[in-house]
Every structure is written in structure tokens, then in C-alpha cells.
Structure 1
Amino acid sequence: MKIAIGADHAGYHLKEKIKEFLISRGYQVIDFGTDSAESTDYPLFAREVALAIQRGEAQQGILICGTGIGMCITANKFKGVYAALCTNEYMAKVSREHNNANVLCLGGRVLGEELALSIVSTWLASEFGGGRHKRRVDLITKLEEDMC
């Protein structure tokens, strides 16, 4: 599986740890940057990851900024991208099982490395449950089609 990853300066160090974690578990990682802790603008990186999802270059994405909020807002502007800000393993699990999220957003300034890696692991191990959740996700998709 290919995973697109991106971060701004506030998420750079955590991005590097997550990338190392993913590669060690056999995932292919497309790193859209940033490549340092020098100040930069998070929407630039959210855009690249979201476009990679739209184009089918990656099946899932991970975005990291200071809180994860800005990345999440930006990524959700792209049709077919369903980004979820997760601060614990339960949120990660249900974002996949109930909401079919294809982008995980994390806060580099609000999560410790160990918790962040646990959230990533849980998110990747979880799958969309379908059933009553499919009906709801279909409603979201219909709204997206109507409004975009």
C-alpha cells in the first residue's frame, strides 16, 4: 500500500518518525515534505497529499501540523478526500470503520511520539465497516457531489 505523507514545520519531526515507522512495516511512502523545521505553510502540503489521493497515487494519506486542525480543514476541501483529526486510538479506529477516512491528521505539538505511532498503527489496521455506516458515508458523498 502507498501512503502519502506531508507536514509543515510543526509536524516535521513527527513526520520523519512516522515515515520511518511505515517503511519498517513494509508500506511505500510518498513524502511531500516539508524537509526541515523551518517555518512554512501547511496548506501547501495538505494540497499535495490530497491530490495524490484524488489521482490514485496513494491509497491513504497522513498529514501533520501543530494541532492537525489546519491540515484537516485544508484536506477536506478536496473532492474524494475524507480527512479525520485523531487524538487517540479510538478516534482513529472509528474514523476508518464508521467514516471511511482516507487521510489521518495529527498534531505534532499536541501528541507524543508513542501515542502518535499507536494512532497510526490503529488507523492502518482498521477497515471500513460498511452496513449502516455506508449509508451515512454515501450521504456525505452525495452532499459533496451536489455542492462541489
Structure 2
Amino acid sequence: MGEEVVTRQVSRVVLLGPDDRILLLHGYEPGDPTHTWWFTPGGGLEGAESREEAARREVAEETGITGIELGPVLWKRHCSFPFDGRRWNQDEWYYLARTKGTSTETAGQTELERRSVSGLRWWTSEELSASHETVYPTRLAELLRTLLDEGPPSAPVVLETESA
């Protein structure tokens, strides 16, 4: 009999600084540091916390940035991927957030994050569009450009399911 598949509820944050740069974390597979990608801050809900509470907590833990202005949910997606020896199935909500401060601090990261995140970087939309590095969600450059040009969608956009 197969294992029960549990879908992890995740809040992610499209964190924009005062100059509309987006903050991304540079991650890697703990067992293979050559397998790298960029991704937005965020993570799974803990206990009875709301998605909004999880978004604020994850940004604070992963980046040291507190007091963000949390905006609407921009996008939703399901994804499934192998990481650190197991399969992760996630239901992700991407919140828009703004911050005036761009200084980061990673002391609050979890043990797994310390083993799988090599740094953070603020990206312009142009830099993200020109990059050949792996970024999740895979259409982030296009989605960010639309967000900056048109503003947040009137309702969350459901992105295609990504599975690795």
C-alpha cells in the first residue's frame, strides 16, 4: 500500500523593495550543491496560523525583514518536487508585499534552510528576464513584468501545476 500524499499549505511572498526589485533566495539540493535555483521567500503554515501570518513569519525568518506591507494574493499554484530525500506536494499562494528596508539577515533560517540556501539577492525585472538560471515559479520573470506594468490582478491567477 502506498504512502498517503499530504499537500503542504504554503505562503510565498513576492517581496518588492522601494525600487521594485524582487527579493529571491538562492537554493540548492543539500545532497547536490551544483543543483541550484532561485525562489521567493515563504514556506509552510505552522499550527493554526493563517496564510497571512505564515507569509509574515517566513519573510522574517528567511530574510530578517519585518514590518512588510502585505498585499493581495497574486497567484496560486500546485507543485510537486523531490527535495532533501523526499517528495514535496504544495499548494502555494503568492502574496504581494512591499518593504522600505532592503538589508537582509539570515540568522532566523531553519536548519534545513541553512543546509539549502546560499544567499539572497534583489533582482530588477530586467535582470530576471535576462537570466538563464532556474527560477520558481518558472514564469516569474513574465509574471513580475505584468505585475509591475498592470498592478495586481483583480483575483488570484491560477498558475499551471509544476512537477519535477
**Richer in strand (by share):** 2
Identify, as 1 or 2, the structure richer in helix: 1
Q: Rg larger in 1 or in 2?
A: 2
Q: TM-score, normalised by structure 2?
A: 0.27
- RCO higher in 1 or 2 (8 Å CA, sep ≥ 6)? 2
